[in-house]
Amino acid sequence: MATVKKTLISFMIITLGAAAYALGFVWCYAPNGIAFGGVTGVAQILNYLIPALPVGVTVIVLNIPLFLLGWKLIGGRLLVSSLYAMFLSSVFIDLLTAVYSWQPMDPMLATIFGGVLMGLSLGLVFQQGATTGGTDLLARLLKLKLAWLPMGKLLMGIDLAVILSVAAAFGTLKAALYGLVALYITSIVMDGVLYGMDKAKVAYIISDRNKEISEAIFKGLDRGVTILHGQGAYTGKEKDVLMCAFKQREITAIKAAVKEIDPNAFLIVCDAHDVLGEGFKEYKKDDL
């Protein structure tokens, strides 16, 4: 039952992401002639050259060979969710295009909000282990080999060539320039959705009252503390260093607890990402 509920929630999030993807395209990109990356960008070119070809249907047709290629590498479950996201986003594009006449707006506003909507949508879809097909699927496959590269940057590199092609088809450099700005915004927002919500902090504490500080942290804040053995470079004196990982929202409480016990304590707080273990997230083989 829990698995079914989790799957339903996942597909609801993918549906929301697909809707945001379609809205960003029909509201911000298409009416303003802004170059779009990926297979949707290729469909944009074909629609511009042959208006009778709907963008959504064209995207589905162009994705067929890519999904056949990804079947073996990405796995059945991920492929099904990706097919769902791709099909739904394509249907939403054609549906929104049919029900309303989307008018051009200020190009820079379209670029900014289009990039935000695309980044949000792709982040939500990727977060559920799916893709919207096309170069998104290609980026997901490349991520298996280039695990160290953030998805936003990987996708940005792939989409660059398509954006330049769209600009060439439209016959204007502005389309490419706005498209590049939108693509940059998309990559930042997408990486923020995928990785930014997992922000954590690590504190290093040097004090003469380590035992009291440790107890205050793991009893009062329910966080573990690790003792690192250090040595002063100048004095040569050995001194223990406390290390504690905690969530962003707990930073004020950590500082207050340390300074209340030892006002002279030396405290260093650093950003931390992808913290795995008790109290944080679990490791998953297919994590982005």
In sequence order, what are the beta bridge partners of 241?
206, 228
More confident residue, 265 or 161: 265
Q: How far apart are CA 262 and CA 258, in angstroms?
A: 6
User: Does one domain contain both 137 and 227?
Assistant: no
Domain closes at, from 182, 197, 212:
197
The per-residue pLDDT for range 207-238, each reduced to its tens digit, is 989 999 999 998 888 888 999 998 888 888 88
User: Does one domain contain both 49 and 179?
Assistant: yes
User: Does one domain contain both 222 and 267?
Assistant: yes
> Is the pLDDT at 76 greater than 70, yes or no?
no
Residue 279, domain member (yes or no): no
Q: What is the CATH number of the domain that holds 205?
A: 3.30.70.120
Residue 268: give the domain boundaries.
200-272
> What's the number of domains the chain is made of?
2
Q: How far is CA 222 from the centre of its chain?
A: 29
Q: What is the pTM of this model?
A: 0.68
User: Does one domain contain both 60 and 183?
Assistant: yes
- State residue 211's pLDDT score: 92
Domain closes at, from 163, 197, 231:
197
User: Does one domain contain both 178 and 240?
Assistant: no
What integer is the mean pLDDT of 256-273?
89
- State residue 263's pLDDT score: 92
User: Does one domain contain both 187 and 63?
Assistant: yes
Other Cβ atoms less than 10 A from the Cβ of 246: the count is 23
Closest by Cα among 50, 52, 3, 54 to 25? 54
